[in-house]
Amino acid sequence: MVVEHAVKPADLPQVKLQQQRSYRLINSKYPPVSVFDDVADADEFDALFALQALTNPRLQAQAGNLALLPRSSIPFGITGCSYAVAPFTHVNPAGSRFSDGRFGVLYLADTVQTAISEVAYHQRRYWAKVPGLAYERFVFKALSCQFDDVSLADLTSLPLQHAVYHPQDYSAARTLGISLRQQGCAGVQYGSVRNNGALCWGLFSPKPVTQMLQSGHYEMIWQNGAISAINQIVSYSE
């Protein structure tokens, strides 16, 4: 049974997080954009980006739509800056749980397993729509992320039967996400819908991120209409 009552952002408790470790899975075909990692501030970025764009016509496509993210929100100087920025400059127009596609959200999970569960669900839905796909192998990077000194709206105060946790219908969660972001909220803490009992976070800005490192590589095997196996193929020490 889904609880449909609307949530007022002001009624949600806040959770303050310090040095929070989290994880994210991304397709390995997306390389980091070095220009984000090679500079220490916004002025250096603009100068270097303009210079590199003269010789690398693909740089704009790799960096994404920079108009979607204020320079002041980019955590220049951190390890893995481009990984932190990517969800905000490469926004899925179809949207996500807490976005209608007009802005990005950095989704993070409490463990690698939770991140795998979240990504595997969406991969199943996507590849099931590809006609005649009998077998394929997809490789993903696991990213270890640390973010710090941020207060988030705590959705774990809501029951898992609430509409914001609906497995497929994101309308209630998107309405809430838009409202929270408009009111200046930094993001949300919520229960994982794909890994019961686990925690996830959705940051509305990359600014709180202090580090994003590769922690491993995983493969998902698509076979006979389903993901038949998920294997770790590379592991890095954190």
Place of tokens 């839905």: 125
Q: Which of 7-11, 131-135, 169-173, 234-238 has the highest mean pLDDT?
A: 169-173
Q: What average pLDDT does the chain have?
A: 93
Model pTM score: 0.93
- Quote the strand ranges of the chain, DSSP E: 14-17, 20-27, 106-109, 135-147, 150-154, 187-191, 199-203, 209-223, 226-235
Residue 95's alpha-carbon distances to 14, 131, 216, in angstroms, are: 25, 24, 27
Among 5-9, 198-202, 222-226, the range scoring the smallest mean pLDDT is 5-9
pLDDT of 225 over the 70 cut: yes
pLDDT band per the 50, 70, 90 thresholds, residue 7 = confident
Contact 165, 191 (CB under 8 A): yes
Give pLDDT tens digits for 146-191: 999 999 999 999 999 999 999 999 999 999 999 999 999 999 999 9
Residue 130's alpha-carbon distances to 6, 17, 42, 91, in angstroms, are: 36, 40, 41, 22
Question: Residue ranges per domain, the chain?
Answer: 9-235
